[in-house]
Structure 1
Amino acid sequence: MNLEKFRQSLPIYSIRHRLIAEINKNPTLILLGETGSGKTTQIPQYIYGSHSHMKGMIACTQPRRVAAITVAQRVSQEMNSELGKTTGYCVRFEDCTSPETKIKYMTDGMLLREAISDPLLLRYSVIILDEVHERTVHTDVLLGIVKSAQQKRSTNKKFHKPLKVILMSATMDVDEFSAYFNKAPVVYLEGRQFEVDVFHSVQEQTDYIFSSIATIFQIHKTAPVNEDILVFMTGQEEIESTVKTISELNKSNGKLSPMLVLPLYAALPSAKQLKVFEKAPSGCRKVIISTNIAETSITIKGIKYVIDSGMIKGKLYTPQNNLELLKVHKISKSQAWQRTGRAGRESSGICYRLFTESEFESMTLNTVPEILRSNLLSVALQLTALGIDDLINFDFISKPSVEALTTALNDLELLGAVKKFFKDNNGTENPEPVSKKRMISFRYELTEMGRKMAHFPLDPKFSRCILSADKLGCVEEVLKIVSVLSVDSVFHAQTNTSNKRDQAEAARQKFSSADGDHITLLNVYKAFMANKSSSKEWCQENFLDLKNLKLAVDINKQLKDICTKNSIKLTSSSNDSVKIRMALISGFFMNAAEYQKENEYKTMTSRQTVLIHPSSVLFNSKPACVLFNEIVKTNKTYMRDVSVISSNWLMETNPTYFKSKIKNLNDYSLSNLNSNIR
């Protein structure tokens, strides 16, 4: 079937004229289109075809980069044009567009970043927010930004062209979205979903990884080899380990057909992600082990079987103790149906759910929006950078708690990114609080430092570290550390044999620093760059992850470019560890902990009992005071990415904040801490 015939066979084709009429008639349209209807690829083309004279671009946002890239590739192919010309894409670290681009697929985060410099989104005539049911933080914030831009452009005569907004999904609460956009009309689209047989587990599974592997081999022994398998799991480490196990088990059994086992997760470089779309060699079955990145928008040809673990890794934030955790938990019913649909894109399929029918019935109907369970520090910075000085009353579709928003704003103030202005009943503003009787409100305004922080596509704490490194003369070193921390672990976990574990530990000792994990990661990055010509062999010898290190190098390049554009000199401290750790403290001073007893620490902010994670180079040490990047909770609560610091450094960084925090720690000086501070 040629491309034109394929397009005409899509369910959306028969109502294309009605769709265009509805888009022309309404400022906002909600499109509930079943999987396989063709909405993501066709609607931008229909709009472009009927409005070719339109000056502004058509933006179509996706929650994930792999979807933005692959859909753009497909549409440019259908339009018989070179990718990056009429149709292009823009994702983090990659912009494949040109002045000719009219249809632009992009991640929601990239459109949000554009809004910082263009709050009214004047470059666009139509904005399509796809897969809005996923309710990522970026999507929820974008809904508010796009709604505001649409209202301002419709009432201001300067802007001759109003902004059209289209919301799309296969599963969403249409009433909630319609009400949010002033009773926007809803159009329902039938899909081209083939029948999928769903089988639930007879009994509850205690180990979904083992069950997934067992199910894969059951299928592999009986099903035709050209029928591929998609398995849903939770994260990179789990996926990479499963890929390795399946590959080795299949190779060890000479009677089985070969398998091409491929990972798919967000941190995987684009080139590696795109391998899942390539056809497997003849006589070989393709098995893809993926996170929820494969739930929506993308179609992987050849998938006949889906194995759904029923689990996902998501954020959970508690503003009371300012603690954000990544926790594996059950999916929602809507996610389960999205996963099931991956088996019926091209023909009938089968979905094996590794949970019982009663477990499915007990699942929540929809996923809790990410914005209600996340640290809002980045959101607060982005919105303040957009000129929104009253976040408490910002028009969120799902409003976060006042406590979560206030915590984020207070933390930004501590980081020096915003300044609070108080207003009295006379309308006078003052940077200092006035009498309680007279004070009626306050607002936050971005500082010069905050403006620079907003240019970095990073957690504001990392951005603050980079700006402090500029003053301390160690930008090169801090950028390298931040780049490595922006990817998943660069160390390969060795769990197969004690001999391999010992070898991996011995290799790691070559990079270890008594100052902690941050300097250790810096040593790894520098050694990798020094051995780049033989990086594959070198990484194998040292049990390091080549993919993640290459991605860290790409991120480092991007961050250097942002520094250059913002007049931040790429200085080097010649490995002055104290300066580097001082720079890290400026962003993470709220993540400090003091030693108590029996290897336990207490965080200085929430006084929570924590331990140093076993993966840390400081696991067997007992430094008096440490800095950490994050807390993870399993059966115990651990600090990850830990460095030795001095309490004096904390006092130097933010004396007001720490005056009440450091209670139990003795007043060590640098000379007293020679055994711990290097």
Structure 2
Amino acid sequence: MPEERGPPPAKRFRAGPGVPGSRGAMLPGGRQPPLGAEALERQRRSLPIFTARGPLLACLRSVECAVLIGETGSGKTTQIPQYLYEAGLGRQGVIAVTQPRRVAAISLAARVSDEKRTELGKLVGYTVRFDDVTSEDTRILFLTDGMLLREAMADALLRKYSFVILDEAHERTIHTDVLLGVVKAAQRRRKELRKPLLRVLVMSATMDVDLFSRYLGGAPVLYVEGRQHPIQVYYTRQPQSDYLHAALVSIFQIHQGSRKVIISTNIAETSITITGIKHVIDTGMVKAKKYNPESGLEVLAVQRVSKTQAWQRTGRAGREDSGACYRLYTEDEFEKFDKMTVPEIQRCNLASVILQLLALRVPNVLTFDFMSKPSPDHLQAALEQLELLGALQRKKDEPLVLTPTGRKMAAFPLEPKFAKTILLSPKFHCTEEILTIVSLLSVDSVLYNPPSRRDEVHSVRKKFISSEGDHLTLLNVYRAFRNVGGNKEWCRENFVNSKNMMLVAEVRAQLRDICVKMAMPIESSRADTGNVRRCLAHGLFMNTAELQPDGTYVTVDTRQPVSIHPSSVLFHCKPACVTYNELLSTNKCYMRDLCVVDADWLYDAAPEYFRRKVRAARS
């Protein structure tokens, strides 16, 4: 029988040890050939969570909210949605399973559809930004938390869902935190209106359970004990001053050069399985973004991981077999790590969040029920940005409301500044070009630069380079790609990532559809790049910098000293005035993705804003 725990209410289930050879979801490129029904069923039964199936379902039937902690590799992400469906708990609606990252949502949906012996997009589907693989028959839906938020804009009660599972909650992404508040409000409102119950399950391998339980009204905490495969953890005897060198030494000590090495980003902290991983080397460091609302600067800084992140990294080693994690820090150092990662909502630009909340018709965004409240400075900075973009109406003693422009901006799954740029494009007769540019900026880089072939890359790229900046250069690359019909050989010869370029085309088509639904005129400026640059200046006027007499640049907004990023086509140029997509601080503060603009265009875009900035600079 489950053992009762102290507050928060907790139930602990002893799961089985599992057997070698079974596995969870895998990346699309690393999936096994389809197994027979019997083999898949054996794998499901071998997962540690299987022996806890009955007691878990009994608990989930009796509560509206629960928090579930299950060890990495226990099978919770792939199995619990199936258990709920098989037990009829989600039959009256869709079972939603949210993931912080699109690759996890896609790969998990593929795995579960294999296990259910159904075509992906039928019983099991997924929805991520710019990609929807679902049908009317879909009952188990994997989707990014951002996509469920967008659905809530159209239906705040989330009526199509009977069960919402918020997975990987330990990551505390900005969308996860907002979604928690939105789902909690939908659940309460459905009860008030006597609508069908919305059940909520928050899941992770590592999490501050007290915080989540309190936020969900004292929700019971369910522990599933048992890891599929054991992991041995090793620490260093002495602190390491150079973690990069220590990582290289460890790699060669373990692998002697005879095995494949994967250098991973933070995606190694998610619930997906990368096949073949048995050894993990954890440097104890992470690159994390921090936003300063005063300077507008987003700093990408190297810092220590939290204990939660360290345990997530460790868990990658035991997904398919026993493994080992080599931590490049001492055990004493580990004990000094922060317990949890600082939530993203407390360290990022909140303009998109506020726009979404206002689109959801939240009565007062400043008092929204965040689990971890952002600082007043971050909230005010976001409100000012939206007001400058014409998205927000603020009147004394009246609630904040979106303008008609703001409502249209919220319809685009983009940063507010890019949504506004698209909405402005008909005025400059260049909607086709702006759609292309925004799409190019919405995916990973379409260009690749192998260091060993630098001269060849430079020679090939000359024909695309525009003296007017990176946006126009990317536009030239896309036009050439389209003219050759997306030919893969052409992509190889020109060092263009064909996969990412195909994704650009898909993103562009969806953004264009949104424009068509809004009855926007869609014109092309053809060879007139001046109109394209004018439009970018009007949309990105808050992201501008001016050349100083000493040859340096400062931002117009906060007078922050900045430099042109070495990857920019303008790196060796000195235009008088530029717009940029983002500021990134490493050893210096860099502007990335630049466009040459005229100062006059910026004053036309926001005359009062720039008059205020000029007065401030002179005082």
With structure 2 as the length reference, what TM-score do the two structures score? 0.89
Query: Secondary structure in 2 aligned to 1:619?
Result: coil
Query: Secondary structure in 1 aligned to 2:557?
Result: coil
Match for residue 597 of structure 2 among 623, 645, 662: 645
Deviation at 1:454, TM superposition (A): 1.1
Are the counterparts in 2 of residues 306 and 352 from structure 1 also a CA contact under 8 Å?
Answer: yes
Deviation at 1:174, TM superposition (A): 0.6
Are the counterparts in 2 of residues 212 and 354 from structure 1 also a CA contact under 8 Å?
Answer: yes
Return the letter of the residue paired with 2:496.
L
2:349 aligned residue: 375
Are the counterparts in 1 of residues 491 and 497 from structure 2 also a CA contact under 8 Å?
Answer: yes
**Stretch deviating more after TM superposition (504-513 or 136-145):** 504-513
Distance 1:117 1:335, change over 3 A: same
1:570 aligned residue: 522
Distance 1:300 1:635, change over 3 A: closer
1:448 aligned residue: 404
1:183 aligned residue: 218
Deviation at 1:606, TM superposition (A): 0.7
> For 1:413 and 1:389, how far apart are their aligned partners in 2?
18
1:121-140 alignment, distance < 5 Å: 121-140=158-177
> Is 1:544 aligned to residue 496 of structure 2?
yes
**Where does structure 1 lack aligned partners over 5 or more consecutive residues?**
222-249, 251-255, 257-284, 424-441, 667-678
Query: Secondary structure in 2 aligned to 1:326?
Result: strand
With structure 1 as the length reference, what TM-score do the two structures score? 0.81
**Stretch deviating more after TM superposition (344-353 or 603-612):** 344-353
> For 2:545 and 2:442, how far apart are their aligned partners in 1?
22
Structure with greater contact order relative to length (CA < 8 Å, sep ≥ 6): 2
Are the counterparts in 2 of residues 421 and 445 from structure 1 also a CA contact under 8 Å?
Answer: no
> Is 1:520 aligned to residue 473 of structure 2?
yes
1:365-404 alignment, distance < 5 Å: 365-404=339-378
> For 1:512 and 1:17, how far apart are their aligned partners in 2?
63
1:437 aligned residue: none
1:328-347 alignment, distance < 5 Å: 328-347=302-321
Return the letter of the residue paired with 2:41.
E
Query: Secondary structure in 2 aligned to 1:95?
Result: strand
Deviation at 1:129, TM superposition (A): 0.5
Distance 1:85 1:405, change over 3 A: same
Distance 1:505 1:359, change over 3 A: farther
1:489 aligned residue: 445
Are the counterparts in 2 of residues 594 and 665 from structure 1 also a CA contact under 8 Å?
Answer: no
Are the counterparts in 1 of residues 247 and 281 from structure 2 also a CA contact under 8 Å?
Answer: yes
> For 1:511 and 1:501, how far apart are their aligned partners in 2?
16
Deviation at 1:567, TM superposition (A): 2.1
> For 1:393 and 1:541, how far apart are their aligned partners in 2?
54
Deviation at 1:491, TM superposition (A): 3.4
Match for residue 461 of structure 2 among 508, 523, 545: 508
1:162-311 alignment, distance < 5 Å: 162-201=197-236, 208=243, 211-221=246-256, 286-311=260-285
1:439-478 alignment, distance < 5 Å: 442-478=398-434
Deviation at 1:299, TM superposition (A): 2.1
Return the letter of the residue paired with 1:298.
I
- CA deviation string 1:441-479 (max 9, x = no partner): x32111221111111111111111111112221011111
Match for residue 149 of structure 1 among 186, 189, 198: 186
**What is the CA RMSD across the aligned residues, in angstroms?**
2.3
Distance 1:664 1:443, change over 3 A: closer
> Is 1:416 aligned to residue 390 of structure 2?
yes
**Stretch deviating more after TM superposition (518-527 or 559-568):** 559-568
Distance 1:632 1:527, change over 3 A: same
Deviation at 1:371, TM superposition (A): 0.7
Percent identity, aligned pairs only? 54
> For 1:502 and 1:69, how far apart are their aligned partners in 2?
38
> For 1:506 and 1:392, how far apart are their aligned partners in 2?
53
> For 1:403 and 1:28, how far apart are their aligned partners in 2?
33
Distance 1:287 1:553, change over 3 A: farther
Distance 1:448 1:603, change over 3 A: same
Q: Which contiguous aligned blocks of 4+ residues in structure 1 show a shift greater than 6 angstroms?
A: none
> For 1:176 and 1:579, how far apart are their aligned partners in 2?
51
Distance 1:543 1:101, change over 3 A: closer
> For 2:159 and 2:492, how far apart are their aligned partners in 1?
49
**Where does structure 2 lack aligned partners over 5 or more consecutive residues?**
1-37
1:527-538 alignment, distance < 5 Å: 527-532=480-485, 534-536=487-489, 538=490
Size of the aligned set, in residue pairs, is 581
> For 1:367 and 1:595, how far apart are their aligned partners in 2?
39
**Stretch deviating more after TM superposition (199-208 or 93-102):** 199-208
1:7 aligned residue: 44
> For 1:543 and 1:214, how far apart are their aligned partners in 2?
33
- CA deviation string 1:163-208 (max 9, x = no partner): 1111111101111011111111111111224222223345555665
Query: Secondary structure in 2 aligned to 1:662?
Result: helix
Query: Secondary structure in 2 aligned to 1:443?
Result: coil
> For 2:344 and 2:294, how far apart are their aligned partners in 1?
18
Deviation at 1:359, TM superposition (A): 4.2
> Is 1:25 aligned to residue 62 of structure 2?
yes
> Is 1:61 aligned to residue 98 of structure 2?
yes
Query: Secondary structure in 1 aligned to 2:571?
Result: coil
> For 1:516 and 1:33, how far apart are their aligned partners in 2?
50
> For 2:498 and 2:153, how far apart are their aligned partners in 1?
34
